[in-house]
Chains A and B, each alone.
Chain A
């Protein structure tokens, strides 16, 4: 069973350890607008800020560099830090776009990044982080067909930043925005496919 829950909606008459839920007087309540999957014991958010998890791939812009410590703008309220030096002889300049992996999240306040890679040139696009799974699609189907049709190199960050380079960026941007705005409609993969085919003719 899956159904939409709202903050304060009861999800279980007993205390339960459940992400995006809280326990009050022996009962479990949702604390977000989301979809409750009873079987998977999961409340999937329908809106909201990116909640970083270890191993998330992210895209951001280096905003400061000091002694091999880089601050990266990930469009999040949390601070993100990339620590270079040691074995990494590369340096990153403010203004450079990078992709990286979330290595750790400290006190829900600071994101520690690892395995950085500079993304040269191109453009950035921001979308709602909750729409990222839909933009990627099942087994990368959605983003795969957009990349193929537009000949763009695309890196999708879980944080909602998407980097695009080469090819028809305008068309890729339009397609991604369309997925974001119409994430609720069915048959979207097919719809985007048709749109891409018609546009490239």
Chain B
């Protein structure tokens, strides 16, 4: 039997903020989450290194070139991919562009507000972008059409419901949408959007894994309560062979040994997620 002898305290000075401001009720829940973590247990009974249920639905929007909706537990992210003919960047005249953007929609959580993008939304987009870019998932050279013309790939991530771990849900949604993206026909300097034939060429699949740390307990795919209460978190993206992108968040710290362990776990999770992505084809 557990022993619950602690008294609810006020929030310690350390930074526990993630995407949300903590309310009084979150603090009480947080104490409980931390207590559980100390025993190696999670609020939903999952193993420490288990993902929540992952459901990938591709091709949900017809006006896009590619789309997917991902449910990771209660977190829901919609991804729309648009292709557009633009000039290549000056420093990469033989390549197309990849632009990842994310929106924490106000309908996704009571505390998401209307307004300019928050730093959390920008970080989310950039971390997803880095994984895809570093793993060379989208063959940027393959986006080159002719002199001064290349495809720009716009990946828009729409967070529809926030229940923790937006990084992995968004990265999976982006990967799934890209896997189902069709390139429009190109004619006389213009895209013919009504005619789409070839699939967008992808060279690899990147899988994102996010871990939260509470005191000395490490857990994969944090729920909203775990994410809010966590001291720190790290996202590790890999392509099944090597690590492709990492991002540590929040003010806590990891030991080097912990990072090494998590890299191992991350690589071990590649098969599970990439298989689910492949199954949508």
Interface presence of A167 (CB below 8 A): yes
Contact: A97 with B28, CB < 8 Å? yes
Number of interface residues of A (CB under 8 A): 26
> Which A residues lie within 8 Å of B32 (CB)?
122-124, 169
B residues 15-31 in Cβ contact with A at 8 Å: 23-25, 27-29, 31
Contact: A63 with B5, CB < 8 Å? no
- Within the assembled complex, what's the spacing in Å between the Cα atoms of A37 and B106? 37
> Which B residues lie within 8 Å of A120 (CB)?
4, 7-8
Interface presence of A166 (CB below 8 A): yes
Of the candidates B2, B23, B31, which one forms a contact with A166 in the assembled complex, judged by CB atoms under 8 Å apart? Answer: B2
Name the residue of chain A whose CB is nearest to the CB of B225.
A123
Stretch of A44-52, A88-96, A101-109 contacting B (4+ beta carbons < 8 Å):
A88-96
Q: Does more than half of chain B's interface fall in helix, strand or loop, or is it mixed?
A: loop
Number of interface residues of B (CB under 8 A): 24
User: Do A61 and B43 form a contact, CB below 8 Å, given A121-B8, A166-B4?
Assistant: no
> Which B residues lie within 8 Å of A93 (CB)?
10
Contact: B9 with A95, CB < 8 Å? yes
Of the candidates B8, B23, B44, which one forms a contact with A97 in the assembled complex, judged by CB atoms under 8 Å apart? Answer: B8
> Which B residues lie within 8 Å of A124 (CB)?
25, 28-29, 32
The 0/1 profile, CB within 8 Å of B marked 1, for residues 117-141 of chain A is 0001111101000000000000000
Name the residue of chain A whose CB is nearest to the CB of B33.
A123
Of the candidates B4, B28, B41, which one forms a contact with A61 in the assembled complex, judged by CB atoms under 8 Å apart? Answer: B28
Contact: A167 with B10, CB < 8 Å? no
> Which B residues lie within 8 Å of A123 (CB)?
28-29, 31-32
Contact: A61 with B27, CB < 8 Å? yes
How far apart are B239's CB and chain A's nearest CB, in angstroms?
A: 35
Residues of A within 8 A of B (CB): 61-63, 73, 75, 93-97, 120-124, 126, 151, 161, 165-167, 169-171, 173-174
**Pairs across A and B, CB under 8 Å, 24 listed:** A61-B24, A61-B25, A62-B24, A73-B23, A73-B25, A75-B25, A93-B10, A94-B10, A94-B24, A95-B9, A96-B7, A96-B8, A97-B8, A120-B4, A121-B7, A121-B8, A122-B4, A122-B32, A124-B25, A126-B25, A166-B4, A167-B2, A169-B32, A170-B44
